[in-house]
Amino acid sequence: MTRQLVRTSLVLGALALAPALANAKEPTNAEVDGNHLERQGNAEEKAADADKARAARREKKGKAMKAEGKERNDQNEAAEGARLEKKGKAKMKAGEAREDAAETMKKSGNKAESAGVNEKKAEEKAATR
């Protein structure tokens, strides 16, 4: 009984969505390109966030090594810690720049997508005249 009710509800749900899907128009090339750029920007931003997290860990480790080296009067360890800290800061700046580029990519994708939507609306408006 329950299985039949579930099957029936799935079939009726699919039939209810069928007209909506049939009326859906294909996206324009600008929309497709905009969506692609936006997805690419999101992926790039995620990767930049991961790079920044790694850089922060490296910088923290470098600070700890530097402090421990100074505490023990171990100049080699202090120098290694300073080098790691410096490298972490550089990687952090690179990650921030990469994140800014990803943000720009996402914005240009949104602009391209909205241009495609406007194009589609203009075509529909011209077709109704």
Compute the distance between CA of residue 9 and CA of residue 23 in angstroms, rounded to an integer. 22
pTM: 0.70
Contact 65, 80 (CB under 8 A): yes
Q: Give the pLDDT confidence score for residue 24 in this predicted structure.
A: 62
Give the chain's length.
129
Tokens read off for 4: 């039949």
Which of 24, 29, 23 lies closest to 116, judged by CA?
29
Higher-pLDDT residue of 6, 38: 38
Reported as a single tens digit per residue, the pLDDT across 76-103 is 999 999 999 999 999 999 999 999 999 9
